[in-house]
Structure 1
């Protein structure tokens, strides 16, 4: 793996990481939900 591909994989992992529970319960109004929001918050 090149360093570029490595860092891309790392970024992917970070985006799918679950969000803090308080972010899922109290999402700020006016901020659009990310595409992965339901994936990240499904555990809460």
Structure 2
């Protein structure tokens, strides 16, 4: 949907570190975002 796309763009614009639990337990079947390694690099 258009609303979901706009939300995704906002997330891409402001990259925030992910919670550590997200980095350790990434849901199966969900592709890693390109910035995932940047966001989770510290864990």
Give TM class, smaller chain.
0.5 to 0.7
TM score, norm. by length of structure 1:
0.66
Q: Secondary structure at 2:33's aligned position in 1?
A: coil
4+ residue runs over 3 A deviation:
2-15
Cα distance in 2 for residues equivalent to 1:3 and 1:27: 26
Report the TM-score when normalising by structure 2: 0.67
Structure 1: unaligned runs, 5 residues or longer:
none
Quote the RMSD (CA, aligned, Å): 5.1
Q: CA deviation at 1:9?
A: 13
| Structure 2 unmatched runs, 5+ | none
**Between Structure 1 and Structure 2, how many residues are aligned?**
43
Q: Which has the larger radius of gyration?
A: 1
